[in-house]
Chain A
């Protein structure tokens, strides 16, 4: 009988931790019922009973605290159906989502310094390296390969340029067509290598997906897809 009572009290004691693990609505817990159970399950051994009762009461207070926090968080969500918000976020492009959040951020400021230890390590490293101009040569470069190398210059920060390219040249077409043949798309531009870089970058950050049709071998640019991702080389010449 005592074991059963102890078991009941232990369940109450473990409740806050379980709520923390699972998440969800803490109001599913009936606090009055918990207090009634604590009252009903007093042990014969007074000292043990007091220990269990105090721990159980502490657990109840933690549940109440969790309920208060839940109300505050629900207010932040303006009590709108969570599924509605999830659906909105699912459909929202990453850029729009990022802009919405960034508008509400006031960052903490700080200047990082190099510690004396790291400075010492840097000095040691520098003393071991060869001076400028005395670095070993990379060896012969095949002239035929050089002909394929295009000079790429980026006016702005690469990520910004890639996002701009996405907005101006890719987003609308992807939204209307769904999928665009990779080769055909790249060949529309004079700076094909640069565009290939943009495509690769946009795919790695998940703005688009690049898929290969296993039957035809054709490479396609599409809206972001789920599934398994891998890194592959795509020839475009």
Chain B
């Protein structure tokens, strides 16, 4: 391995460490932060880091900035698992009723074309859960970045867009059959 390649690999491992350790309320780092730590060729370093991440069952995902979707410096780079959660992992993510509520909210948002009135969502959730718990869950999902509320209307937030394969989820709902007995 040449000196240059070794340096690139060293930087790639450093990039993985940087992405894994949260330094703000949001996970991962912005492109400009990576540039500061890894140098101008940080995109090449990220390519090598992706290969290393792949070996560990992880992947690097780039979340474009809303205002400048083509600017890598302003995009957020995050580390994710490559495979979906297994049943033993669920409880370490969210509680059962919180996951179910997120499913209900995302479906309502999708069925309404990208946004759903908060009132409607609360009404739907209170058919299954107590009102006080619904309020708690909505706040928690907002705090984690799964949904966002603007003037009484709910939208999907960055984490739902990045973490959830909604097409697969909707397909499973359509194909769902309740077990009898």
A94-B96, A98-B97, A172-B181 known; A113 and B21 CB under 8 Å? yes
- Apart from the given pairs A85-B111, A104-B165, A109-B27, 19 other A-B contacts in the complex at a CB distance below 8 Å: A20-B115, A23-B112, A69-B114, A75-B167, A76-B110, A92-B176, A94-B96, A95-B100, A98-B103, A99-B90, A101-B106, A102-B85, A104-B168, A105-B165, A106-B59, A108-B80, A111-B21, A206-B128, A229-B132
Of residues 62 through 90 on chain B, the ones whose CB sits less than 8 Å from some CB of chain A are 78-85, 87, 89-90
Q: Which B residues lie within 8 Å of A134 (CB)?
A: none
A112 CA / B23 CA spacing, docked (Å):
7
Of residues 133 through 181 on chain B, the ones whose CB sits less than 8 Å from some CB of chain A are 133, 151-153, 159, 162-174, 176, 178, 181
A86-B111, A110-B79, A205-B133 known; A77 and B170 CB under 8 Å? yes
Is there an interface contact between B116 and A23, defined as CB atoms closer than 8 Å?
yes
**Contacts across chains A and B counted by CB atoms under 8 Å:** 193
Min CB gap B88→A, angstroms = 10
Is there an interface contact between B28 and A205, defined as CB atoms closer than 8 Å?
no
Chosen A-B contacts, 14 in total, with CB atoms closer than 8 Å, are A23-B115, A73-B113, A78-B171, A89-B103, A91-B178, A94-B128, A101-B102, A101-B106, A104-B169, A105-B163, A106-B81, A110-B21, A113-B23, A205-B97
Count of chain B residues with a beta carbon within 8 Å of a chain A beta carbon:
70
Is there an interface contact between A88 and B173, defined as CB atoms closer than 8 Å?
yes
A228 CA / B130 CA spacing, docked (Å):
8
- B: residues with CB less than 8 A from A are 20-23, 27-28, 58-59, 61, 78-85, 87, 89-91, 93, 95-97, 99-100, 102-104, 106-108, 110-117, 124, 126-133, 151-153, 159, 162-174, 176, 178, 181
A181 lies within 8 A of chain B by Cβ: no
Q: Which A residues lie within 8 Å of B83 (CB)?
A: 106
Min CB gap A66→B, angstroms = 7
A32 lies within 8 A of chain B by Cβ: no
Query: Which residue on B lies nearest to A209, using beta carbons?
Result: B130
A93 CA / B126 CA spacing, docked (Å):
14
A104-B168, A110-B28 known; A89 and B115 CB under 8 Å? no
A207 CA / B171 CA spacing, docked (Å):
24
